[in-house]
């Protein structure tokens, strides 16, 4: 799994000109799933996201997690995170999991992250054409690949 995590002051996702999910302060996460991903990746990444200290404390030091600031999470599936651009100019998405594998893993990740942050997660819709808007606070953007845990 690859996650692009952005600290935001607000974020939203629209599908067919209707807002599907929106948050105020918190994390906007783009999540890419590959065939090799499993429950271990879900558990590890969810804990990492929930406890990632990228929010400012009282002294302006990034020392608080989304849990500590009672922040929200907007999670968007994005298979293009697994694009390969090694050959030619058209990206290949062979590494990205097909929906029959990706959707159950995506849904399990949502459930696991909801438990880890103790609140409901806002989401887009898997496979939909989505319009994502956000105000990146900082800017702070972190990329985590569960295949690079060590």
Residues assigned a catalytic role: 78-80
SS3 8: strand
Phi, psi torsion values for 132, nearest 5 degrees: -105, 130
Distance between CA atoms of residues 9 and 61, nearest Å: 17
Residue among 63, 150, 49 nearest 109 (CA):
49
Strand pairing report for 18-23 and 122-123: unpaired
């Amino acid at each position: 799994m690859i996650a692009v995590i952005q600290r935001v002051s607000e974020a939203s996702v629209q599908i067919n000109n209707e807002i599907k999910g929106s948050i105020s302060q918190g994390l906007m996460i783009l999540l890419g799933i590959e065939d090799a991903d499993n429950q271990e990746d879900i558990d590890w990444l969810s804990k990492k996201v929930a406890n990632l200290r990228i929010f400012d404390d009282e002294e302006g030091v990034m020392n608080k997690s989304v849990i500590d600031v009672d922040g929200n999470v907007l999670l968007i599936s994005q298979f293009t995170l697994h694009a390969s651009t090694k050959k030619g100019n058209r990206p290949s998405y062979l590494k990205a999991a097909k929906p029959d594998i990706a959707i159950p893993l995506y849904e399990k990740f949502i459930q696991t992250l909801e438990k880890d942050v103790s609140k409901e997660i806002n989401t887009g819709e898997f496979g939909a054409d989505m319009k994502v808007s956000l105000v990146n606070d900082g800017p702070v953007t972190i990329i985590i690949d569960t295949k690079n845990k060590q």
